[in-house]
Homo-oligomer: A and B are copies of this chain.
Amino acid sequence: MNFMTENQPKKPSKSDRTRAQILEAARLLFAEHGYDGASIRDVAAHASIDPAMVIRYFRSKDELFARAAVVDLQLPALRVIDRNAIGETLVRRFLEIWEGPASGPGMGILLRSATSNEFAAEKLRDVFGNQVRPVVAAVSDPADAGRRAGLVSSQLLGLAMCRYLLRLPPVVALSHDEIIQKVGPTLQRYAVGEDGS
């Protein structure tokens, strides 16, 4: 066993690039065609290598998917935000995540497969519980942060579905400003709106 290959910054060894190529191809194809729709052979072809290598580097398709479906929304930065602008802030971050220059297919991977793959569904619920919920809890009564975060997620997830996966024409056509202007207030009300109405 090699005790030094893990997390050690001094190994840009030959194989690491292949490994990265596989993972990149996997993320792309999983995001585009879902878990079932993207075969290991497809991933291998996209990475210009042999299918057997995919299994060699990642032990199985499940494990490859687990490695590919890592999502970091980078939401903690929003904790210090004005609670009066939390709605707009969330939509802007949403657009950044899905369309920003540094955006990966991370969320697409999960959302594309979550409807028919229990692992992806569980992972998506994790993202909700560990990343979205805390942000909402920080700007409202933590007691019903779950309910509020759930409503926020329903709107954002639905928007992502319609715009990026289902590609509903009128939703695709919406400009960033329109989305911020229309959806922002909704999230604002869900996140910090009065309880009684």
Residue ranges of A at the interface with B (Cβ–Cβ < 8 Å): 33-34, 36-37, 111-116, 121, 124-125, 128, 146-147, 149-151, 153-159, 161-163, 165-171, 173-174, 178, 181-183, 185-186, 189-190, 197
Q: Which among A112, A156, A161 has the highest number of chain B CB atoms within 10 Å?
A: A161
Contact: A185 with B161, CB < 8 Å? no
B124 touches A166 (CB 8 A): yes
- A146 contacts which chain B residues (CB < 8 A)? 169-170, 173
Query: Which residue on chain B has the smallest CB distance to residue A38?
Result: B116
Cβ-defined contact, B149 with A170, below 8 A: yes
Chain B residues, Cβ within 8 Å of A113: 115-116
Chain B residues in 8 Å Cβ range of A156: 158
Please determine whether A128 and B168 come into contact, CB atoms closer than 8 angstroms: yes
- Check if B147 sits within 8 Å of A173, measured CB to CB: yes
Contact A121 B37 (CB under 8 A): no
Contacts of A147 in B (CB 8 A): 170, 173-174, 178
Are the C-beta atoms of A154 and B153 separated by less than 8 Å? no
Chain B residues, Cβ within 8 Å of A36: 36-37, 116
Complexed CA–CA distance, A182 and B147 (Å): 10
Hey, which chain B residues are within 8 Å of A165, CB to CB?
114-115, 121
Cα distance A32–B117 when bound, in Å? 11
CB nearest to A144 among chain B residues: B170
Q: Which residue of B is nearest A187, CB measured?
A: B186
Contact B114 A166 (CB under 8 A): yes
The CA-CA distance from A167 to B159 in the complex, in Å, is 18
Contact B162 A116 (CB under 8 A): no
Expressed in whole angstroms, the minimum distance between the Cβ of A35 and any Cβ of chain B is 8
- Contacts A154-B159, A158-B158 supplied; 19 other A-B pairs, CB < 8 Å: A36-B36, A115-B115, A121-B165, A124-B166, A125-B167, A125-B168, A128-B168, A147-B170, A147-B174, A149-B170, A151-B171, A151-B183, A153-B162, A154-B155, A155-B158, A157-B161, A158-B161, A185-B197, A186-B186
